[in-house]
Structure 1
């Protein structure tokens, strides 16, 4: 029997992280004792980068793991028909718009790119309380969450100016964080890396930067290919939450092996290992992020502060009176069908009664809203479970109708590349 899966969005308990993969360097006073920082052999760094690229090239594919967002369910197709679907009535329309529009991505991009280190007047959070909370975060994470004046101003600036955006992101995180944590735990990686997807894309699967980085984890074309994410005229697996999260975990793990420091691994994820290596060289071999950030690209210089500020606010949301938006329905029961003919998401919506926004949300990797049929490839349509049985029962008629519509409207589809 075919496996069925349900999209689950309940929050999961953070699991214990492996000490070996998350070993934190000895704490350093990066502002006052910078001359005590270790000097790095950048030639050795370049050799490590080359070895990493060669190793990835040999495998040249990311593991296609069992989907983390979906759980097994039982389906009886005899109980449904094409017109009896009531699933859409459960979904808050405004919430679905929140999932599929790009306003959050635009907001978070502006925040990261225009990060401000100037003093911020925010009396609700004293320096003493912030120092205590950062020390608590530092103790329970493998990141160097140490107090400094610049980080204080970034955090206070977020709290003062961006509360609505962050509350919306907290609500949206309920859909994705459990799956992120499962994948990160599998790779023995810090669960707090889930916050990176907020800084990168505001949790938007179809996010695309001005330089072409795409998806929740903002993979460039070549890096995505290197980690097994296929990109064609119709399909972009960088937009697939499951496959891209697996690829991001593999890439971040490799970067940590090279730099042996999570701050530098994150900086290299954003700007590339080469830029971080050059920043280390230009700073005289120092390896603490706060001492090399002035030698990094402007966007990357604000990247780690944005990540740490996001982590702080999510971890202390209740203390700051944040109230995340909650959906009426916080999970999706879904299943997949392997397509047998080319079909558009608009046609699927018309035939099933499922809103186009929902179908796009469940199938973000189809960048033109077209699921192609290619003999040697396997492409799947994901639908709410209540629409699967009726679709299968009427499959032949649906494909015939779709084909006639495409021919009638003279919609010439692109050749696969």
Structure 2
């Protein structure tokens, strides 16, 4: 599969980089795509509708209604029938409106109506791109599942040099091509990944938690996305940046993580449960700060719902389920027991005895055990490299599932 016969809507915003989209439209049409262009009013100050109508071989839309022809441009129809909506260049103003539901032109109305995947290629001056409000808007759009084609560094229209330059047309074309390509082994697959700790509230200022940084889960989410999967990442509190083109859902407690996992589980082909979920949570949560009075203080705890066992019980034969086990003693036997009890396809064993492995570090050393009890020992590597190794095993398992279907 490629871009041939794909319906691609390209929204062009008002910025000097708009001229570069002429090359992109030409390349897409040449590759067999059906391209429909929407220009914002500001974009027409930089490029003309006639140019894009000539290149796309389709009329160019800008307003809801054309007074000359009497034609109503239906934004719902545009959004429903597109295979992909690309907004490029995406200005800071448009990104902000997209992130917060603004709808004051045809392009934004089409975006809000779109049922297809959405890509954004931002372009702006380096200080605008680096501004916290812009970065917050980008993070918000990623959380919606929008794909961000990151700007590059280089000479900008202001005369300054830095990050904010529109990705080159050939790179945007390649991103689109890869998106529709069968070459990526997990293209068309949906993945659910959990990461980080959970915090179980004691009172308004205290909680029970653990030392998980989320780095392993985030690396797995990124690796799966690069292999073509559509990834939902459910993460407890971390300081990590959301991987590009991954939808991150933020949770705090084990109960919140369970709710999100159950909501997304049935749609997922691949489930990797790497979060360090609390085993116990306070029975009662104080509404005000508990004062330090007693020398010995007792909190009554109850077990949290075992998320991994819950999803293992409802796993279908078409899903790949991977769990993690962090052990301090009798590691191998404990991991094998967990593998069987929770109906996992694979379990990734961490030992706290291994130097450079475990929580809050950038490296890991693991043993991957399959349902057949075959073991793969991976030496100390970066967590990103470990993530790629785990994902290779997932790809192979998904291939076996496809062959058996």
Q: Would you call these one fold, judging by a TM-score over 0.5?
A: no
**Which structure's residues are more often helix, by fraction?**
1
Highest RCO, 1 vs 2 (Cα 8 Å, sep ≥ 6): 1
User: Which protein has the bigger strand share?
Assistant: 2
